[in-house]
Amino acid sequence: MKTGRWLGAMLLLLGMGLGVIHLRTEQSRCAARILSSETERLRLRSELWAYQTGVARLRSPGAVRDRLARLEAQSRSGAGVEGSDASPGMTLTSR
């Protein structure tokens, strides 16, 4: 009976210990996930900023004019007009 009680107490302590360890592990895992989400958010923000400045470059009046001049020159020469860098792969045909 005495041994059984000791064993029960030991098992209870062991269970509690394992529970604490499990909770701690989960907490660390969540923290790691939060951190990696933060890192990913940072990366996406950086990427977004790069796209925004890239689009701004394409929208600048000088760049628009250059593309227009290129398109006009190509359409005047009668050849198929390659799409601008804003729409890669698109081909316009001059009329």
Distance (Å, rounded) from C-alpha 70 to C-alpha 79? 12
Close Cβ partners of 63 (under 8 Å, ≥ 6 residues apart):
57
Query: 3-state SS of the chain: helix, strand, coil percent to 5?
Result: 80, 5, 20
Of 14-22, 47-55, 71-79, 87-95, the segment contacting another protein by CB under 8 A is: 47-55
In the set 12, 15, 45, 68, which binds another protein (CB under 8 A)? 45
Q: Which of 6, 7, 18, 52 is in the footprint of another protein by CB under 8 A? A: 52
Is residue 28 within the footprint of another protein (CB under 8 A)? yes
Residues in the chain: 95
Q: List residues near another protein by CB under 8 A.
A: 27-28, 31-32, 34-35, 38, 42, 45-46, 49-50, 52-53, 55-57, 59-62, 65
